[in-house]
Amino acid sequence: MAATKGHSPERRCILTFNRAPASGLVRLAVAPDGSLVPDVAAKLPGRGLWVSADGPLIAEAMKKGTLARAASRSLKTGVRNDQVPADLVDRIDALLVRRCLDRLGLVQKAGDLLAGTDKIRAALGEAGRGGREPAMMLAATDAGDDGRRKLKALADGVTGRDVGVVDLFDREALSRALGRDNVVHVLLFESGGTTELMADLGRLNGMRGVKPQSCEAQGNEG
């Protein structure tokens, strides 16, 4: 299906046979030696296939050999079990971590995020008076539960909805990504860059077995 403006094209997961936006799946490309390599940016040349961003699903398919068989069907050529890297799930995870942190830096450059509790509180106050709409928050994995809970309650009250809080990275990783010291809480505003980051965060969560981004059944590809 062709992509429409502002929407990700749909692709079919070779393991579930269901369709979903490509932004929620992971592309596997075929290397010159015939092995499968993760292509989370979907930019590598040549033939490829798509799988749900669901780490447990991929790991089980590798264990049973069904990933190699599904790849063979999709590519119409033989893919051996030894051509599927044993650390495929870990490779995808590492690439998505790097991609998310890089995107976080881009969102900051675009002026679409704030870091720091005081700045976030002030921005949420402005949002309650017609300021920029919060999209989501990030909290360091080593952040205190009390501070996270209070900021989320404030954001939920301002927006009238459940503002998601993602905690996938520690403060060292967040600080490095944003070029700042001791980043614990981050507020992201609605923007195109934030939407792309949220999709990648969803894929990373799925690879770790948290709310997997499995394909929703919408029929098979013709």
Structure tokens at 90: 């870990």
Please state, in angstroms and rounded to a whole number, the distance separating the CA atoms of residues 37 and 85.
Answer: 8
**What angle in degrees, to the nearest 10, is found between the helix axes of 55-64 and 192-207?**
40
Mean pLDDT over 194-198 rounds to 96
Residues 6+ apart with CB under 8 A from 75: 30, 47, 49
Q: List, for residues 32-54, the tens digit of each pLDDT value.
A: 999 999 999 999 999 999 999 99
Confidence of residue 170 (pLDDT cuts 50, 70, 90): very high
pTM: 0.88
Residue 140's nearest CA partner among 93, 173, 118, 109 is 173
Beta bridge partners of 188: 113, 136
Q: Where are the domains of the chain?
A: 10-92, 96-207
Kindly state which CATH superfamily the domain 96-207 is placed in. Ribosomal protein L30/S12 (3.30.1330.30)
Q: What CATH architecture does domain 10-92 belong to?
A: 2-Layer Sandwich (3.30)
Please state, in angstroms and rounded to a whole number, the distance separating the CA atoms of residues 126 and 90.
Answer: 41
Q: List, for residues 58-114, the tens digit of each pLDDT value.
A: 999 999 999 999 999 999 999 999 999 999 999 999 999 999 999 999 999 999 999
